[in-house]
Structure 1
């Protein structure tokens, strides 16, 4: 009987949940009907194309394979309606995605769609969870705050991934420089050096290996070397890579010794890494102050002073009470 009255009291809540479920189901069905329904022209061509000798059916490709995926076909309308296609915002967003390792032509589309969906989803979920509360200024401010958080969350995630990738590249770069020095001194050209270093450095850092391989492909395709080196610097966003590419451009322009320049740059990078390690070690003593004061010192005080305080309470309080 108790459960019956509980269900009756919360009937409005269950009705609202049912309406939300029906709305989501209709939205999913609408997305499927609008973007994933079979193309009549494609179905007609399928009937006209004859079967092969082995009984296999060759399906005509009216769309590019990369454009016919579920996620792409769902996010493309949102991207076309809202996402900026040009300008500084679009360029910076694409550059951040490339620096994070997302080079696909659909990455910007997925990224901006995620920003829009999160900006709408978080406030809607909050409003659904607090549907029975009266509207107030606090609720409005929370909705605006969740909208801003949802819109900026993909940027934060991409920034974290990009910084992690840059750290991996920076850590593996001195080893790659040593390999470049060995390859150049062995008589290999710069193009083959990039290819060989990319192959050898892959077990250590696949991100740096991919950048070397991509730069080598650009050079082999006939692109200007200076532009290829500049593109590699932009794709990584690592200052050390920028310095290396500047050295390669200058040696190529002025005809100086590449092996000597790479060796000097490698030594300078190792000195810089040692200085960074020493700086981190020097900061560790300052960073230990807060854990010591907040966690370790209170425990030490309890162990040292606690027994004395207990003894004082047992001896003095009865005497003071008479």
Structure 2
């Protein structure tokens, strides 16, 4: 019976570790992904990969579980977080709710099979497993939102430079958005998707100001909010769009350079924990180990 429990615990830990790696690991290398998009035909680009198919199946299962729960009244904040993470499908909210139901059950089974609940802190382990399973989907969603916002923030300066070129070449603002979306579709697909959505909303009859404000709310990126505010003021007061965009693009480039300098300045601080906990102990063992062994042998010889 003990060997069965040990085996089930090993399998459960392996499954959880594989799921975490599958969820958080990047799909492909960026260079290989860009080359594949450049050289593959359009039909090959639209083929759904094996990983995407499995993800869709898992999302469908979680969505079915979430639909069994009673509906909640206030889900606007969760829907906004899902949209900012890039999940606009209606069943995304149900999949998240289903994950909050299934993960506590999975974690409870793991701690029960592993025998951790048989100790004196069994109640604490139960509570910890349930709380971790319930909070893990929200933590994952927050991480996805931050990652996507970082991608949009890095793509914005390039889009602004191209937008200035299009405006100065004689295109209108809506046509410039469409042209930027076409040109940057390979390098910055996330930002192009947002611009396509803005153009689609304008084509169906929504005003440009409403679409831009929804873009700022949908992304939650401060740089995009500043761009939207600048475009709304330009449209309202009739100032030059190209000149305003050029000044704003210069400001975005300066901010990107400052962020790079800030990240470079943080590098030595981030290197301290690996050095202290992994590299320095190994160095101490290699350098001081022989000396300690020699001193210990001499000390034993003196007492013999």
Using structure 1 for the length normalisation, give the TM-score.
0.68
- Where does the alignment leave 5 or more consecutive residues of structure 2 unmatched? 9-56
TM alignment of 1:265-284, pairs within 5 A: 265-284=248-267
Counterpart position of 1:79: 67
Does structure 2 retain, via aligned residues, the 8 Å contact 1:83–1:112? no
Higher Cα Rg, which structure: 1
Structure 2 CA distance for aligned equivalents of residues 138 and 147 of structure 1: 14
Counterpart position of 1:109: 94
TM alignment of 1:7-86, pairs within 5 A: 75=63, 78-79=66-67, 81-84=69-72, 86=73
Counterpart position of 1:173: 156
Does structure 1 retain, via aligned residues, the 8 Å contact 2:164–2:242? yes
Once the two structures are superposed, what CA deviation does each residue of 1:271-319 show, in whole Å capped at 9, x if it has no partner? 111111112222222333333344444454555555655666677875x
Structure 1 CA distance for aligned equivalents of residues 188 and 58 of structure 2: 32
With CA pairs under 8 Å and 6+ residues apart, which has the higher RCO, 1 or 2?
2
Closer/same/farther in 2, CA of residues 151 and 296 from structure 1, 3 Å limit = closer
Structure 1 CA distance for aligned equivalents of residues 297 and 102 of structure 2: 65
Say if 2:100 is the partner of 1:100: no
Say if 2:204 is the partner of 1:221: yes
Counterpart position of 1:58: none
Once the two structures are superposed, what CA deviation does each residue of 1:210-269 show, in whole Å capped at 9, x if it has no partner? 000000111121112221111111211111111111111111111111111111111111
TM alignment of 1:139-158, pairs within 5 A: 139-158=122-141
Does structure 2 retain, via aligned residues, the 8 Å contact 1:184–1:259? yes
How large is the RMSD of aligned CA atoms in angstroms?
3.2
Q: Secondary structure at the match of 1:181?
A: helix
Does structure 1 retain, via aligned residues, the 8 Å contact 2:155–2:188? yes
TM alignment of 1:149-298, pairs within 5 A: 149-298=132-281
- Where does the alignment leave 5 or more consecutive residues of structure 1 unmatched? 1-9, 18-68
1:107 Cα deviation (Å)?
Answer: 1.2
Structure 1 CA distance for aligned equivalents of residues 239 and 76 of structure 2: 35
Q: Secondary structure at the match of 1:162?
A: helix
Once the two structures are superposed, what CA deviation does each residue of 1:104-162 show, in whole Å capped at 9, x if it has no partner? 1121122112212223333245445549x76x763232222222222222111212222
Is 294-303 or 204-213 further displaced after alignment? 294-303
1:73 Cα deviation (Å)?
Answer: 9.0
Aligned residues: 252
Is 269-278 or 309-318 further displaced after alignment? 309-318
Structure 2 CA distance for aligned equivalents of residues 72 and 294 of structure 1: 42
